[in-house]
Amino acid sequence: MKYVLFFLLCCFLTACPNPSPGPDPNPNIKTYAFRFTEVLPNPDGRDIGNEYAIIRNISNDSAALAGWYYTGKEITHFTFDNTAKIPAGGELKHGTGRTNEWLNNTLDTLRLYAPDNVLVQTITWANVGDGKVIIP
């Protein structure tokens, strides 16, 4: 008897089609173009001028970083100006050449904000070894 029930259950499960996905539950959710894809808070050797964060444009269009900003432990607020643009799928390596440390090696959090002050991404790390790249 249990084999018959098992057989019928298997037939039922294979006969039932997968439900088709419905409409987007919230079509008003905004998609943002930029994300951090790599952070190097503790480069081999000297940190000053060699720390960086890479920001990628994940959209299908070229987009300006004007008004985008990020915060962290060592840098309280950095806003991109009107000249920063990233092509679709392109990246911007930001931070190399700075004259101060801006990413803390022992504990830090980078927060990326859109121009409308929406928090888009958060990356946190602790005790990063020399040369270790953080990939969120």
User: 């300006």: which residue's tokens?
Assistant: 64
Confidence label for 29 from pLDDT (cuts 50, 70 and 90):
low
Work out the percent of the chain whose per-residue pLDDT is above 90. Answer: 51
Token couple for 27: 């079509």
pLDDT at 77 over 50: yes
Domains of the chain with bracketed CATH: 34-126 (2.60.40.1260)
Q: Let me know: does 37 contact 54? Beta carbons within 8 Å.
A: yes
